[in-house]
Amino acid sequence: MQKDTLVFSLLQKELERQRNGIELIASENFASLQVLQAMGTVPTNKYAEGYPSKRYYGGCEVIDELENLAIERLKKVFNCSWANVQPHSGASANAAVFLAVMKPGDKFLGLDLSMGGHLTHGSPANFSGKIYQAIHYGVTQDGIINYKELEEKAFTEKPKMIICGASAYSRDWDYKRIREIADAVGAIVLADIAHPAGLIAKGLLNDPFEYCHIVTSTTHKTLRGPRGGIIMLRHDFENKWGIKDPKGNIRTMSQLLDLAVFPGTQGGPLEHIIAAKAVAFGEILSDEFMLYAKQIVANAQAMARALTKRGYQIISGGTDNHLMLIDLRNKGLTGKKAQETLDKAGITVNRNAVPFDDKSPFITSGMRLGVPAVTTRGMREEDMETIAELIDTVINNIDNPQAVESVKTEVQNLMSRFPLYPELTYE
């Protein structure tokens, strides 16, 4: 069969874009070469509906070994007792949790998207806001989770579930306080740790498993694996809410979650991606990953300091994790303009609403920055200072194409010192 030169030329073009640019999107990372290799393997040919030893297709004996390996490694990563590695994404993992514990129209409490939350935490454009009754809490004027508001709304609304977790929040979470509130109103606590999961895995942030009933995550952000989702429990439990399976039986939470993933929200699992998840979980268990996670935190804090020194307003005043949210209003600039101009300089960020934003989600007043990808490439604190200076140069020359092009050359020269996949080519 003739090689599809058009597709592979585009893949090579994307590889060069990643190699030559500074990747600061907080939800992106660079998976290892062996994770990439595992994704492009023969399990993509295999249908495996069901779970290990309980498949609806024959020929799954090796697939069962692969999926069990991924599960066992993930359980070690987070010291949990049960895990489902089949969700195709973090959003589908959250959808399965909703299906397992909620009925259409039930109330739940989550962080408002405009305050740093996620689409699946109750956005009216998302299934979570369309099928269920979403109640939201926010952050204080200082950019910290408003636990008082969370408590007041929980007692007033009596939600069935409380979600903690965010897509644009730079501080750690008080899971203990949230669990106390949930217990007082009889709610389930879901921790969505999609962003800080790699830091939590290495004990660098508070442990949600100690207090939260259910934990979900993606596998491709700070966990540095393939794109996908996971659901976990540290302690399986008989549910006191009387939630039943499709046959009317009251099950343990793990049983309900398994049924919610398959057949509830998905059909055949992506076993080639699950193989890549197993590879990534093995990497996370290494001593090298601990050094990597610590460097993420050090780099994020170094970048926050460097940007603050240059007059940038960071929401909450700094960061405990891998990201920061910057309010650009004191620079007289929108997030959209900043993102588009930085992109021309080879610096990839994403525009993002800031708390109490006065601009639309398509424009925004802020931008979100994260350091997992540049940390993967070997950058350290002194390099964060350099990146901050390059960002500042672009922002201060936002309507000067020559200056932006000059920064692009500097970016390419800088990133040539930190090779990405040197052994990989699609030509």
- Cα separation, 405 vs 425, in Å, equals 27
Two structure tokens written together for 351: 């525009």
- Are the CB atoms for 243 and 219 separated by under 8 Å? no
Q: Give strand pairing partners of 323.
A: 370
Q: Which residues pair with 189 in a beta bridge?
A: 162
Torsion of CA 69, 73, 76, 82, to 10 degrees: -60
Tell me the three state secondary structure of residue 405. Answer: helix
Residues 6+ apart with CB under 8 A from 405: 344, 345
Tokens of 369: 């920055």
- As a whole number of angstroms, the distance between CA 217 and CA 221 comes to 9
DSSP assignment of 50-97 equals EETTEESSSS-HHHHHHHHHHHHHHHHHHT-SEEE---SSHHHHHHHH
Q: Are the C-beta atoms of 71 and 282 separated by less than 8 Å? A: no
CA distance 198 to 220: 10
The closest alpha carbon to 197, from 90, 287, 53, belongs to 90
Q: Rounded to whole angstroms, how far apart are CA atoms 107 and 159?
A: 5
Q: Which residue type does 362 have?
A: F
d(CA 174, CA 276): 32
DSSP string, 230-292: EEEESS--B-TT--B-TTS-B-BHHHHHHHIIIIII-SS--HHHHHHHHHHHHHHTSHHHHHH
Q: CA–CA separation, 194 vs 167, rounded Å?
A: 8
Catalytic annotation, residues: 47, 49, 192, 218, 221, 227
Cα gap 176→211, rounded to integer Å: 6
Q: What are phi and psi of 382, to 5 degrees?
A: -65, -30
